[in-house]
Amino acid sequence: MRRRQLVGAGLALACAAPFTVHSQDFPDRPIKIVQGFAAGGNADTIARVVSTEMSKGLGQPFVVEAQTGAGGTIAAATVARAKPDGYTLLLATGGHAVAGALYGKLGYQTVSDFQMISTITYFPFLLVVRADSPYRSLTELLAAARADARSLSYGSAGIGSTHHLAGELLVKSAKVELLHVPYRGDAASVTALLGGEVPLIVAPPTAVMANIKAGKLKALATTGAQRWAAMPELPTVAEQGVAGYDVRSWAGFMAPAGTPRPVVERLRAETLKALQVPGVRARLEDMGGEARASTPEEMTAMVSSELKKWTAVVNEAQIPKQ
C-alpha cells in the first residue's frame, strides 16, 4: 500500500511538473489578445496601446485579434474555452457585464469562467443635447420629463448597449419616463441628435467631443461618480439630484479560468508597468479614459457588482433577453 501511494504521488508530481515549469518560463511565445469589436475602434486601440508596452517587459509580441459580433460575446466565448495558460487573453469592456445581464444563453459564465487580471481604464458616458437646447442642465431636463410623462426621449447606440442601460438606470433612479430610441452605433445617434430627431443622447466622450468643441453640442452631465478630469466644470448626474448614480465603462484583461496564479501575476505586473508610462496614459486620456490598474480580486468584485446592477436594470425595464 505504501509503495502504491508513493507511485501515485510520483505520477501526480510528474503530471504537474510540466505546467509548473511552463509557468516559470512564461512567456516563451507570442500572446494573443481577443477583443470583440471592430478593428480600429476603442477596444482594439486600447489592446494595442497597452500590449505594445507590455511586450517590452515580457519579451514576446502580442497579436490582437478582432472577433466581432453579439456585443463582444463571441470573443468572450472564445477565450472562456481557450487553454488556461496565459497565451489567450480577452480585452473585456463594460459590455461584458451588460451582455451577462442581457443575453439568455451565452455558453459561458460572465465571472466564474474567467480569471481576472487587471482593469486598464475607466471612462464615463456623457448626457448630451444640442447647443440650442432649452435645457441648460440635467436638472431642468428631468423636471420637464416629470411635468409631462413620456414627452422626452433619448437616443443610444442600440438596444442592449451600455448606453441604453445607462439611460434606463437614469429613468429608474430619477423616477422619470424617457422614451428610448435606439440607433445603429454612436455615429448614428449623434447624427440624429444634430438633426433634432431626439433631444438627448447617451454617448462616450470620443463620439461627441468634436461636436462639443465645435459648439454644436452641449454636455449636461457626466455619468461617473466623480467629475471627469477632461471636463472638470461638468457636473455628474448624482450632483444634479440623482443620488448614487454611477455609470462608467471600463476595459481590462481577462484569461480563462484556471490560469496559473504566477502567470496571472506576471501579466498583471506588466499591465501595471505599462499604465505608468506617460505615453500610454496620455493615449488613454485622449480616448476619454483614466488609466487605472487593479488586483484580480478587485476586478472580480467590480465585474460581479456590474453584472448584478445591470441584471436589475434589465429586469425592471423589461428589456427582452437577447
Q: What is the DSSP string of 7-56?
A: HHHHHHHHHHHHHHHHHHH--SS-EEEEE-S-TTSHHHHHHHHHHHHHHH
Longest Cα separation, the chain? 86
Q: How far apart are CA 317 and CA 164, in angstroms?
A: 11
Q: Is the pLDDT of residue 21 over 80?
A: no
> Which residues of the chain form beta strands (DSSP E)?
31-35, 62-66, 88-93, 114-124, 126-130, 153-156, 179-182, 201-203, 217-222, 248-256, 290-291
Q: Is the pLDDT of residue 230 over 50?
A: yes
pTM: 0.86
C-alpha cell at 225: 461618480
- For the segment 85-113, the average pLDDT, to the nearest whole number, is 95
pLDDT score of 61? 98
Alpha-carbon torsion (247, 251, 252, 255), positive or negative: positive
Q: Is the pLDDT of residue 303 over 50?
A: yes
User: Mean pLDDT lowest for which of 13-22, 31-40, 177-186?
Assistant: 13-22
Q: What DSSP state is assigned to residue 157? A: S
227 close to 236: Cβ distance less than 8 angstroms = yes
Q: Is the pLDDT of residue 10 over 50?
A: no
22: number of Cβ within 10 Å: 17
pLDDT score of 80? 98
Reduce the DSSP state of residue 205 to 3 states and report it. Answer: helix
pLDDT in tens, 100-133: 999 988 999 999 999 999 999 999 999 999 999 9
pLDDT in tens, 25-75: 899 999 999 999 988 888 999 999 999 999 999 999 999 999 998 889 999
